[in-house]
Amino acid sequence: MEHELWVGTGVRILKPKGRVTNRLPARAVQTISTTGKYADGGGLYLVVTPSGSKNWAMRYTIEGKAREAGLGSARDVTLAEARLKAAEFRAIIARGDDPLTSKPKAKAPLFAEIADQFIRDQAPNWRDQRRATNWTNSLRDHAGAMLAIPVDQVTRDDVLAALRPIWHTKPETASKVRGRIERILDAAIVLGHRSENPARWKGGLAALLPPRKRLTKGHHAAMPYRELPAFVAVLQRRDAVAARMLEFLSLTAARSGEVRGATWDEIDLDAALWTVPAHRMKAARDHRVPLVARAVENPARKSPWRRQECWSGVPERQW
């Protein structure tokens, strides 16, 4: 049974007993024709004008000031849609904001978009340019499902779904993937897209996943030093640039990448000194290597090699 009541001046309530919101029956919206404001509850009103038009309005109070916002014509906006809009208004008001002046929250970018931008921004600082490709491929291969998720909606379950399949079988890869996800989500936090990082290890995933075993692959086998003279003799008999490079590496205890990339302006033959510049060193500092007589002779012994690169003719991909 519905009761028609007057509240104040010109405001009517069709009030089923005990109901605070959703007071207006859908049929009433179609049939009401008397001028006035009809309360549905929760601040939502159906306004009927003297001309017969019907509109939805939301009345509320912010900082002691009464406000009214139009929610559209009843001809275009159904009762259910008006109630949804009113609920959105009430949620904004509950945060202390004014629905008429507050801006809607921007849609967060996808995890993939933040990841791509992060990699592009960081790549110039990475000495090995293959690192950017490694990042992209590892996220695609092991966190592919996460790429399509808005970055503010990535959960710890999403991170675990990416890591658990490889945590025991590929522990080194899993550790790198976790760290990369963590850094990307850290960037999202700084950009204001989220407030916490579900990929954090300490205080987070460390409680759910066992720590990675170190040196799971073990060290490469080393040649017994007693066999080295015979091995070097074999190298010296081979007339190949690769053999000279390997012998030079043995005499200088340098990394293979440092030897492959050596240029003549790094080597002072008179002073028997090789200076590897900082940009080619893992430690990012100049590295000086004294050269024994054989090491000096090695790259200099054949004139065809005297180009900018000490080892011209050996593509890096062969190493």
DSSP 211-226: PPPTTTT-PPP---GG
Q: How far is CA 197 from CA 179, 202, 234, in A?
A: 11, 11, 56
Count the Cβ atoms, other than its own, within 10 Å of residue 34: 8
Give the CATH number of the domain where residue 180 resides: 1.10.150.130
What are the structure tokens assigned to 309, written together?
């690169």
Confidence at residue 263, expressed as pLDDT on a 0 to 100 scale: 86
Confidence at residue 315, expressed as pLDDT on a 0 to 100 scale: 41
User: Does residue 77 fall inside a structural domain?
Assistant: yes
Confidence at residue 305, expressed as pLDDT on a 0 to 100 scale: 43
Vertex 262: Cα angle to 176 and 126 (nearest 5): 30
**149 and 190 both lie in a single domain:** yes
Question: What is the residue-level pLDDT of the chain in tens, covering all 319 positions?
Answer: 333 433 334 444 445 444 477 888 888 888 888 999 998 888 999 999 998 899 999 999 888 888 898 999 998 999 999 999 999 889 888 888 888 887 666 789 999 999 999 999 999 988 777 899 999 999 999 999 999 999 999 999 999 999 999 999 999 999 999 999 999 999 999 999 999 999 999 999 999 999 876 655 667 788 898 998 899 899 888 888 888 888 888 889 898 888 888 888 888 888 999 999 988 887 888 999 999 888 877 665 543 444 566 665 544 333 3
Confidence at residue 156, expressed as pLDDT on a 0 to 100 scale: 96
Q: How many domains does the chain have?
A: 3
**188 and 229 both lie in a single domain:** no
Confidence at residue 296, expressed as pLDDT on a 0 to 100 scale: 78
What are the structure tokens assigned to 9, written together?
């001046």
> Backbone phi, then psi, for 4, in 5-degree steps?
-95, 120
**64 and 9 both lie in a single domain:** yes
Q: Which domain holds residue 231?
A: 225-318
User: Does residue 243 fall inside a structural domain?
Assistant: yes
- Residue given tokens 């000031």 in the structure block: 65
Round the CA-based radius of gyration of the chain to a whole number and report it.
36
User: Does residue 59 fall inside a structural domain?
Assistant: yes
Give the CATH number of the domain where residue 39 resides: 3.30.160.390
pTM of the model as a whole: 0.52
User: In whole angstroms, what is the distance from residue 84 CA to residue 316 CA?
Assistant: 64
Confidence at residue 107, expressed as pLDDT on a 0 to 100 scale: 86
User: Does residue 170 fall inside a structural domain?
Assistant: yes
Confidence at residue 16, expressed as pLDDT on a 0 to 100 scale: 47
Contacts (Cβ under 8 Å, ≥6 apart) of 6? 12
Contacts (Cβ under 8 Å, ≥6 apart) of 266? 274, 275, 276, 277
User: Does residue 123 fall inside a structural domain?
Assistant: yes
Confidence at residue 312, expressed as pLDDT on a 0 to 100 scale: 59
Pairing of strands 54-62, 44-48: antiparallel
- Indicate the residue type of 242: A
